[in-house]
Amino acid sequence: MPVVDVAVPVPLKQSFSYLHDTPVATGVRVKVPFGNRTLIGVVIGNIETQTEDTGLTLKSVIEVLDEVPLFDPTLITLANWLAKYYHHPIGEVWSTLMPVRLRKGMPLTDKLDAFTLTEAGQDALEQSLVRGKKQQLCLASLADEPVEEGEIKQRFSPAVIKALSEKALIQTVRIKQEIQTDWASYTLQETTPVASTEQAVAIAGVNQNGTEFRTFLLEGVTGSGKTEVYLQVIAPVLKANRQVLILVPEIGLTPQTVGRFERRFGIKVGVLHSQMSDLARLQVWQQSRRGELGIVIGTRSAIFTPMVRPGMIIVDEEHDESFKQQDGLRYHARDLAVKRAQTENVPLLLGSATPSLESLNNALAKRYTHLQLSERAGGASHTQLKVLDSRDQPLQAGIAPGLLSVMRSHLQQGNQVLVFLNRRGYAPAVLCHHCGQTVDCKSCERPFTYHKSQGRLQCHHCGASKRMPNQCSACHSTSLQTSGLGTEQLEQGLGELFPDIKQVRIDSDAVRGKDALVTRLDEINARKYQLLIGTQILSKGHHFPHVTLVVVLDCDGALFSADFRAPEKFAQLITQLAGRAGRATKPGEMYIQTDNPGHPLLQELIHNGFAHFARHALHERKMANLPPYSAQAVIRAEANAAQQVHTFLQQVKQAFSDHSHQFGGYIAGPLPCLIEKRQGRFRFMLLLQCSQRAALHNWIASTLRQVQSLPLATRVRWSLDIDPVDF
Ligand code: ADP
Ligand code: ZN
Ligand code: ZN
């Protein structure tokens, strides 16, 4: 009997063999027995037939779920690579890789269920016989042709659908889905701007490479027209009837971005992000798999989207941290993009104004083709960076008088000013004026943040929240005071200082959900507000043509972080923020207010810019033998008892040191994580490092089993993170 090799969603490294009376193609989902459960797995290989009696009795596949393979050989290769590279159970890799509905075993066919009007429904619509407005709308949406069930269910409540069905005004039918692949014959919908010399060199550089795998790093200053380069580079790819997959950071995926691609080519662009329904995501996944979409734009997990005719992969803002998954399978979508492009044998374009040191190093070492845009597009000038010394200054709303007058003059000229403060809430701490005690979250041992509008305290580590107390829990004094500045307080303070100026606050409290953010961004560009106050959200990729001044408040914490990547992250943030100003005809400037004006990192950025900083930082990393000149992995562990975590990691350390000499491995720790305690659990980590990546992998592969069999391994919560980006 044929034996199939199945990746089953269990936390075990291996795949499992099952019998089936006929061979099953790889890439097909099957329902299989596992212990006393029934699970959905993916066939990842066929083992000959079971020839001799091995003494093992294999169980049989319960049901074959797909007529044709859902996953092509490239995705199977990719999954195997992920399991190996991240030392992650193959079945769980597949769970991550599959759209949720497929994971649950839901059917996927080319036929789909749709709603259509019955004759009675047609009459009811024409004569407006139904009362409910929603019901009327639902009928109207079916007036011309059947509409897919999922779409109707998204737009109308179950009650509406039920009512119409019961009155026999609508019914379901099965329709054969038509496959539309006419996007390759697009006609440009707008005139293509004439590329600058630098852009033209970059475009030619990519397109003359041909259709084969190669990685390009497009290092282009903010506003230099990287998106324009993508647009011109993909035009011939689409014409050749090949699909393009574009990854963007979570916050960067707005209708603004998608709109630019749709407007240029006039074709439907598939969009994938985490806030979509499972059904909507599966539809885009399926359309791409069938070749119905020429362009798919998505966030991190979109890297798993199947393409029947792949032509190119682009990762925009490739340095962005949202490309790294921080739980479960901790993959980096940019690194995976390299692997995917290589497997598919298509070009990969990584773009950023502030490339990660990893990618920059690959470009400088000529493993990637390095393309550079040093000038802003359309004649816009570079933003001038300045440092403002806030020592001994009488601050108002947290801002020094000199800076307030700079703001005033920009505002008076009718321009927009962006004030950046990476701390939401009213104040980052509440303390007792009598005894000095701060009001802390008990389970994280960190001060609560005060949110004035809600009258509540919130822990920004674990999300715990409680009412603002009336008195100090230690001395019962009622003189509790807030300490420090958050965006909520900044908004209030600036409102008092600039009463005639319309302002808007953009942070995750004030703006909830993607739609709200998009609305605010549109309003900003329609000049509804002049003063923009915000956190990280405002730093990413948005195009603000009317902003001429960016003010950065309170960045001193970032200058003194223990994380060796902190300078890189800080430089990226500052450079991206500066990139929000002066993007159109008006020149822009940026002030960084600090108590440490002489800090070497600030000085370097101001005088020499990111590109110079990055090359210098690479040199330092090399001297210190840090990534990208070495490879790291982190084992994190957490439990309610600190001692237990510590003991576990000591044992893990012992296991690793037993093998370290073979691989030249270096171990540090156990060290407390940067956030030492969260939700009552103590968090520690062990750092593993080797000069050679392969050595690190072999070291882990030969030790992990021993770690897994430690008695404490089942009692503490622990994880392995390959190429960690934070600690
Ligand atoms: P980036 O992606 O590097 O931030 P964009 O592609 O968004 O830059 O370009 C910034 C602005 O310059 C956009 O408004 C864009 O339309 C415009 N632009 C880009 N390239 C050109 C060009 N060659 N000629 C004129 N305008 C351009
Ligand atoms: Zn007190
Ligand atoms: Zn907490």
More confident residue, 719 or 274: 719
Does 255 contact ligand 1 (Cβ within 6 A)?
A: no
Asked if 654 and 600 sit in the same domain, the reply is: no
pLDDT of the residue at 673? 87
What backbone phi and psi angles, to 5 degrees, belong to 606?
-70, -40
Q: Which of 147, 176, 205 is the last residue of a domain?
A: 176
Residue nearest to atom 5 of ligand 1 (CA): 225
Q: Please count the structural domains in the chain.
A: 5
| Range of 96-110, 196-210, 270-284 with top mean pLDDT | 196-210
Distance 397 CA to ligand 3 centre (A): 27
Q: What is the mean pLDDT of residues 540-558?
A: 85
R_g over Cα of the chain: 28
Q: How far is CA 116 from the centre of its chain?
A: 38
Report the distance separating Cα 228 and Cα 206, nearest Å: 13
Residues 6+ apart with CB under 8 A from 75: 27, 97, 304, 306
Structure tokens at 163: 């009512």
Of 104, 133, 165, at which residue does a domain stop? 104
Averaged pLDDT, 656-678:
88
Q: Is the CB of 252 under 6 A from ligand 1?
A: no
pLDDT-derived band at 110, boundaries 50, 70, 90: low
Q: What pLDDT band is residue 675 in, cutting at 50, 70 and 90?
A: confident
Q: Is the CB of 214 under 6 A from ligand 1?
A: no
Would you say 247 and 302 are in contact if contact means Cβ atoms under 8 Å apart?
A: yes
Ligand nearest the Cα atom of residue 252 = 1
Element (H, E) at 334: helix 333-344
- pTM recorded for the entire structure: 0.88
**Cβ atoms of 544 and 590 closer than 8 Å:** no
> Which range (182-186, 490-494, 517-521, 622-626) has the least confidence?
182-186
Same domain, 210 and 316: yes
Residue with the smallest CA separation from ligand 1 atom 19 is 225
Per-residue pLDDT of 679-714, as tens digits, reads: 889 999 999 999 999 999 999 999 999 999 999 999
Q: Which of helix, strand or coil describes residue 683?
A: strand
What atom in ligand 1 is closest to the CA of residue 194?
23
Q: What per-residue confidence (pLDDT) applies to 55?
A: 61
Is residue 237 located within the same domain as residue 141?
A: no
Find out whether the beta carbon of 195 lies less than 6 Å from any atom of ligand 1.
Answer: yes
Using the mean position of ligand 3's atoms as its centre, give its distance from the Cα of residue 439 in Å. 11
Closest CA to 469 of 453, 487, 481: 481
64 assigned to some structural domain = yes
pLDDT at 184: 79
Task: Please state, in angstroms and as integers, the Cα–Cα distance from residue 669 to each residue in 28, 535, 648, 649, 666, following that order.
Answer: 44, 33, 12, 8, 10
Q: How far is the CA of 221 from the centre of ligand 1 (A)?
A: 11
pLDDT tens string 217-246: 999 998 899 999 999 999 999 999 999 999
pLDDT at 468 over 90: yes
* Mean per-residue pLDDT over the chain, rounded: 91
Is 429 within 8 Å of 482 (Cβ atoms)? yes
Q: Are residues 415 and 332 in the same domain?
A: no
Domain boundary among 600, 622, 644: 622
Mutational test site, ligand 1, from 226, 227, 228, max ligand atoms within 8 Å of CB: 228
Q: Are residues 36 and 135 in the same domain?
A: no
Q: Is the CB of 593 under 6 A from ligand 1?
A: no
- If asked whether residues 118 and 79 sit together in one domain, one would say no
Mean pLDDT on 582-596: 87
Average pLDDT over residues 719-726: 94
* Rounded distance from Cα 632 to ligand 3 centre (Å): 29
Is residue 248 lining ligand 1, measured as CB closer than 6 Å?
no
Atom of ligand 1 nearest to the CA of 227: 6
Q: What integer is the mean pLDDT of 21-33?
A: 93
Helix (H) or strand (E) holding 52: none
Q: Is residue 267 part of a domain?
A: yes
Per-residue pLDDT at 514:
72
Query: How confident is the model at residue 58, as a pLDDT?
Result: 87
Phi, psi (deg, nearest 5) at residue 451: -110, 105
CATH number of the domain encompassing residue 74: 3.40.1440.60
For 115-128, how does the pLDDT look when each residue is reduced to its tens digit (9 = 90+)? 889 988 888 888 88
pLDDT classification of 199: cutoffs 50, 70, 90: very high
574 and 711 belong to one structural domain? no
3-state SS, one letter per residue, for 448-492: CEEEHHHCEEECCCCCCEEECCCCCCCCCCCCEEEECCCHHHHHH
The reported pLDDT for the residue numbered 187 is 83
What would the mean pLDDT of 558-579 be, rounded to a whole number?
87
Compute, in angstroms, the gap from residue 470 CA to the centroid of ligand 2: 11
Separation of first and last alpha carbons in the chain: 50
Q: Which structure tokens are listed for 273?
A: 């992000």
Ligand 1 centre distance from Cα of residue 585 (Å):
12
- 458 domain-assigned: no
Say whether the peptide bond before residue 597 is cis (omega within 30 degrees of 0). no
Q: 3-class DSSP state for residue 626?
A: coil
Please name which ligand lies nearest the alpha carbon of 192.
Answer: 1
Same domain (yes/no): 172, 248 = no
pLDDT of 534 > 60? The answer is yes
Average pLDDT over residues 453-462: 89
| Ligand closest to CA 474 | 2
- Whether residue 6 is predicted with pLDDT greater than 60 in this model: the reply is yes
Residue 321 sits in a domain of what CATH number?
3.40.50.300
Residue 635 is predicted with a pLDDT of 96
Which of the pair, 354 or 583, is modelled with greater confidence?
354
List Cα–Cα distances, 468 to 189, 447, 457, in angstroms: 56, 13, 6
Which ligand is closest in space to the CA of residue 677? Answer: 3
Question: In this structure, is residue 183 part of a structural domain?
Answer: no
For residues 587 and 703, membership in a common domain is answered with: no
* Cβ neighbours of residue 148 closer than 8 Å, sequence gap 6 or more: 112, 113, 114, 115
* Ligand 1 atom with least separation from CA of 221: 3
274 in the same domain as 394: no
The pair phi, psi for residue 516, each rounded to 5°, is -65, -40
pLDDT tens for each residue of 356-402: 999 999 999 999 999 999 988 887 788 889 999 999 999 999 999 99
Strand partners of residue 43: 6
Closest CA to 590 of 548, 629, 545, 632: 548
Asked if residue 478 belongs to a domain, the reply is no
User: Nearest-CA neighbor of 703 among 665, 655, 670, 664?
Assistant: 655
Q: Is the pLDDT score of 557 beyond 90? A: no
Is residue 193 lining ligand 1, measured as CB closer than 6 Å?
yes
Residue 661 belongs to domain with CATH number = 3.30.70.360
Task: Please give the pLDDT value at position 372.
Answer: 96
Give 426 Cα–ligand 3 centroid separation in angstroms.
17
Report whether residue 545 contacts ligand 1, using a CB cutoff of 6 Å.
Answer: no
Shared-domain flag, residues 615 and 681: no
Residue 459's identity, in one-letter code, is C
Residue 584 sits in the same domain as residue 693: no
Token digits for 186? 């697009």
Higher pLDDT, 97 or 145: 97
Give the per-residue pLDDT at 580: 87
Residue 12 covered by a domain: yes
Separation of 107 CA from ligand 3 center, angstroms?
A: 42
User: In a mutational test of the pocket of ligand 1, which residue from 190, 197, 227, 234 has the highest number of ligand atoms less than 8 Å from its CB?
Assistant: 227
> Which residues partner with 666 through β-bridges?
689
Return the half-sphere exposure (C-beta side, CA atoms, 13 A cut-off) of residue 61: 29
Q: Looking at the predicted structure, is the pLDDT value of residue 352 above 80?
A: yes
C-alpha to C-alpha distance for 397 and 497, rounded to whole angstroms: 8
Integer Cα distance of 441 and 531 in angstroms:
33
Domain of 132, in residue numbers: 111-176
Helix ranges (DSSP H) in 352-509:
357-364, 401-412, 487-497
673 assigned binding-site residue = no
Best-predicted range by mean pLDDT (142-156, 210-224, 439-453):
210-224
Q: Flag whether 690 is marked binding.
A: no
> 306 CB less than 6 Å from ligand 1?
no
* pLDDT for residue 523: 93
pLDDT of residue 145: 82
pLDDT the model gives residue 202: 97
Ligand 1 atom closest to Cα of residue 373? 3
Per-residue pLDDT at 47 exceeds 90:
no
- Report which of 517, 492, 105 is spatially closest to residue 273, judged by C-alpha positions: 517
pLDDT at 155: 87
Of the pLDDT bands very low, low, confident and very high (cuts 50, 70, 90), residue 582 is confident
Is 448 contained in some domain? no
228 lines ligand 1 (CB under 6 A): yes
Residue 266 lies in a domain: yes
Binned at pLDDT 50, 70 and 90, residue 83 comes out as very high
Q: Give how far Cα 48 sits from Cα of 2, 29, 45, 204, 320, Å.
A: 6, 19, 10, 49, 45
Ligand nearest to the backbone CA of 434: 2
